[in-house]
A and B are shown apart, each in its own frame.
Chain A
Amino acid sequence: MKRLLRWVVALGALLYGRMLRRRREKRERRRIVPAGTPERSAENLVLALLGVATLFAIGFIVAYAEYSPRSLPNELLGICLGMCFLFIAAALAVVAKRLVVTEELEDKYPKVHEEEQLQVAEIVHESGGRITRKRLLMGAGAAAGGALAAALGTPAASLGPVWHTAPLDQSPWRRGKRLVDEDDRPYSADTIEQGSFYTAFPEGADKDRLGAAVVVVRLDPNGLQLPAARATWAPEGIVAYSKICTHAGCAIALYRKPTFPTLEPHAALVCPCHYSTFDPARAGAVIYGPAGRPLPQLPLLIDDAGMMRAGGNFSGPVGPSWWAVRDHKAD
Chain B
Amino acid sequence: MAERDPLEDPVHFVEERTAAAPLLRGALRYLFPDHWSFLLGEVALYAFIVLVATGIYLALFFDPSTAKTVYHGPYGPLDGQQMSAAYKSLLDISFTYKAGLLIRQTHHWAADVFLVSFVMHLMRVFFTGAYRKPRELTWIIGLLMLFTALPEGFLGYSLGDDLLSGMGIAIAYGVALSIPVIGGPLALAIWGAPFPGKPEFWSRMYIAHVFLLPILIGTLIAIHLALVALRHHTQFKESPRHTDRRLIGVPLFPGQTPRSLALMFAAFGVLFLLGGLVQINPIWQWGPYHPYLGTNGAQPDWYLGWLIGALRLMPGFDVTIGHITLVPNPFWGGALFPLFVLMVLAVFPWVERRFTKDYAFHNVADRPRDAPTRTAFGVAFLSWVFLIFAFGSADRLFVLYGLSYDIQLYAFRIGIWVVPAVLFVLTRRICRDLQAAERVEEIQHAAEEEVARERLEAHAGIT
Contacts and interface: CB of A to CB of B under 8 A. Distances in A.
Looking at A85, A99, A273, the one whose CB has the most chain B CB atoms below 10 A away is A273
A109 B312 contact: no
B315 interface: yes
Given A92-B262, A93-B258, A162-B185, A251 B245 contact: no
A323 interface: yes
Interface in A57-90: 64, 67, 69-70, 72, 74-79, 81-86, 88-90
Contact of A64 (B99, B261, B405): B99
A92 B261 contact: yes
A163 interface: yes
B276 A81 contact: yes
Contacts of A86: 265-266, 269-270, 273
Given A89-B266, A110-B230, A324-B184, A102 B276 contact: no
Interface string B172-187: 0111011011011101
B185 A165 contact: yes
A213 B294 CA distance: 12
A319 to B, nearest CB: 7
Interface in B275-324: 275-277, 290-298, 308, 311-318, 320, 323-324
A101 to B, nearest CB: 7
A252 interface: yes
Contacts of B296: 253-254, 272
B377 interface: no
B277 A75 contact: yes
Interface stretch (B90-98, B120-128, B339-347, B349-357): B90-98
A276 B262 CA distance: 50
Contacts of B250: 102-105
B244 interface: yes
A326 B323 contact: yes
Interface in A267-315: 271-276, 286, 288-293
B269 A82 contact: yes
B188 interface: yes
A160 B394 CA distance: 38
Contacts of B151: none
Query: What is the predominant secondary structure among interface residues of chain A facing chain B?
Result: loop
Contact of B246 (A106, A209, A274, A327): A106
Nearest to B188: A160
Interface residues of B, number: 102
B312 A290 contact: yes
Interface string B225-265: 00000111000000001001111111100110011011111
Contacts of A229: none
A33 B255 CA distance: 10
A52 interface: no
Interface stretch (A3-11, A122-130, A189-197, A242-250): A242-250
B246 A109 contact: yes
Contacts of B145: none
Looking at A32, A75, A96, A167, the one whose CB has the most chain B CB atoms below 10 A away is A96
Contacts of A247: 174, 311, 316, 329-330
Contacts of A213: 291-292
B395 to A, nearest CB: 7
Contacts of A210: 194-196, 291
A110 B277 CA distance: 47
Nearest to A159: B189
Contacts of B98: 64, 67, 69, 72
A300 to B, nearest CB: 18
Contact of A161 (B188, B294, B298): B188
Interface string B68-95: 0000001000000000000000000001
A319 B313 CA distance: 20
Contact of A249 (B105, B171, B188, B276): B171
Contacts of A208: 196, 290-292
Interface in A147-205: 156-157, 159-163, 165, 167-168, 170, 199, 201
A51 interface: no
A92 B184 contact: no
A108 interface: yes
B138 interface: no
Given A248-B175, A323-B184, A102 B255 contact: yes
Contacts of A54: none
A32 B331 CA distance: 60
Contacts of A163: 185
Contact of A88 (B195, B246, B251, B265): B265
Contact of B178 (A92, A322, A324): A322
Nearest to B242: A106
A95 interface: yes
Contacts of A104: 34, 248-250
Contacts of A249: 170-171, 173-174, 195, 291
B273 A78 contact: yes
Contact of A106 (B106, B232, B248, B254): B248
Given A103-B255, A157-B189, A320-B178, 18 more contacts: A78-B105, A78-B272, A78-B274, A81-B272, A100-B255, A102-B255, A168-B177, A208-B196, A247-B316, A248-B173, A253-B293, A273-B171, A273-B298, A290-B313, A290-B315, A292-B317, A320-B174, A321-B328
26 contacts: A69-B97, A77-B276, A81-B272, A82-B273, A82-B276, A85-B269, A88-B269, A89-B262, A93-B259, A96-B258, A107-B248, A109-B361, A160-B190, A207-B290, A248-B178, A250-B171, A250-B294, A252-B294, A291-B316, A292-B328, A320-B174, A320-B177, A321-B318, A322-B177, A323-B326, A325-B325
A-B CB proximity, top 7 nearest: A78-B276, A248-B174, A292-B318, A82-B273, A85-B269, A253-B294, A320-B174
Interface of B: 2, 29, 31, 34, 74, 95-99, 101-102, 105-106, 167, 170-171, 173-175, 177-178, 180-181, 183-185, 187-196, 198, 230-232, 241, 244-251, 254-255, 258-259, 261-266, 268-277, 290-298, 308, 311-318, 320, 323-326, 328-330, 333-334, 361, 363, 395, 405
Interface of A: 22, 26, 32-33, 64, 67, 69-70, 72, 74-79, 81-86, 88-90, 92-93, 95-96, 99-110, 156-157, 159-163, 165, 167-168, 170, 199, 201, 207-213, 243-244, 247-254, 271-276, 286, 288-293, 319-327
